[in-house]
Amino acid sequence: METKQCEEITEMVCLESDLQDGQMKEVEVDRHKILLVRNKGEFAAVGGLCTHYGAPLIKGALVGDRVRCPFHGACFNTKTGDIEEFPGLDSLPTFKVKVEGGKVYVTTDKTKLNKRVKKMSGRVPGVSHTVVLIGGGPASLQCAETLRQNDYGGRIIMVTKDEQLPLDKTKLSKAMNIEIEKVLLRQSDFLQHHGIEVWTKKEVKSVDTEAKTLTFKDGTVQHYDQLLISTGGRARPLQCPGAELENVKLLQSYKDATEIHHMSAGNKAVIVGTSFIGVIPNSDFLKRTSVEIDSRNAVVVDKFMKTNIPDVFAAGDVVSFPLPLVGHKRVNIGHWQLAQAHGTT
């Protein structure tokens, strides 16, 4: 084993003949799992664990220069390590590969063995252009990061009625007593470093698309140059006698999860789940605007996530969009992966 500046480590991981084109192999360097891939005679090495929930990519599917996670279908480019399909925020680290004397060597950097954040800019002083993102979910966060990845230097404001920074809410139904730090999608210092403002406990009351202003329930007003509506959906409440009783709860927030955890301790619980069909788009605050809403209360957008109003976009669970897989028929799909994809558009 060869060590360089106490950071880079090079190890022989296999023989050249061990891998044929279109094959992959999990190897270890410095006790870290790495995915080694051979395609068109060339070797490439990336992190071996999906950046979403840590699934071993060796159990996924390799097609050309793309590997798909076996858990939730995230896709990564094996040459660049970039995440190309979601879920997940971060990309894979890439490593140098050298073939010499029929042996394959991989060089790693000990400081870059896990996730890799795509290069992002921050706010540029003096640039007044403002993008406001309504909602604190995956579509909003992905949009904010995509803007910074493409060197947008204006102001980014994400507003959410939630009490916390953007969360991975999919975890709340699996571990209702989970610590808040374990479900945050990004830490506050990360968001601050990249100039992404997050206003919590801030609910939009109305939108004036002509004046380009938002009015919040606390009476404050904020101007925008461009607006993203990504307010998601809410669980459809029970429509039956007793639905208003104290021990009947909807799981929609971190606070809900905590309350349900404490209420259910030592008690019997009944779970009523209606999946995607039980989700209602959160678009009520748009009813007095000219933004087009369909019969299911979803915001109508085109393939670029544009609404019928200039400089107003929408994404995620709240939208009705044309889906190519069904002949561009309009659909409303409440899914995490799709919300992230919308956020990059």
Q: Contacts from 35-41 at CB under 8 Å and sequence distance 24+?
A: 35/67, 35/78, 35/92, 36/97, 36/104, 36/106, 37/62, 37/67, 37/78, 39/64, 39/65, 39/78
Closest CA to 50 of 22, 76, 24, 23: 76
Give the C-alpha separation, 283 to 139, whole Å.
Answer: 15
Q: Which amino acid is at 201?
A: K
Query: Are 166 and 137 contacting, i.e. CB atoms less than 8 angstroms apart?
Result: yes
Domains and CATH numbers, the chain: 2-112 (2.102.10.10), 130-344 (3.50.50.60)
Over residues 325-344, mean pLDDT: 96
Q: Does the predicted TM-score (pTM) go above 0.85?
A: yes
Query: Which pLDDT tens digit goes with each residue over 138-172?
Result: 999 999 999 999 999 999 999 999 999 999 999 99
The pLDDT assigned to 193 comes to 98
CB 90 within 8 A of CB 116: yes
pLDDT at 3: 45
In the predicted structure, residue 1 carries a pLDDT above the cut 80: no
* Two tokens, residue 126: 């003096």
Q: Provide the pLDDT confidence category of residue 5 given band limits of 50, 70 and 90.
A: low
- What pLDDT does residue 2 have? 45
Which residue from 252, 168, 158 is spatially nearest to 202, judged by alpha carbons?
A: 158
Size of the chain in residues: 345
Q: Which two tokens stand for residue 301?
A: 């957008």
Do the bridges between strand 130-134 and strand 226-229 make them parallel or antiparallel, or are there none, so unpaired?
Answer: parallel
Report which of 117, 116, 123, 115 is spatially closest to residue 147, judged by C-alpha positions.
123
Cβ distance 156 to 197 under 8 Å? Answer: yes
Give 232-259 pLDDT, tens digit per residue. 999 888 889 999 998 899 999 999 999 9
Mean pLDDT, the chain, rounded, equals: 94
Q: What is the pLDDT of residues 96-138, one digit of tens each?
A: 999 999 999 999 987 777 789 999 999 999 999 999 999 999 9
pLDDT for 184-216, tens place per residue?
Answer: 999 999 999 999 999 999 999 999 999 999 999
pLDDT digits (tens, 9 = 90+) for 11-40: 999 999 999 999 999 999 988 899 999 999
Enumerate helices (H) and strands (E) in the chain, giving the number of each. Answer: 4, 24
pLDDT at 4: 45
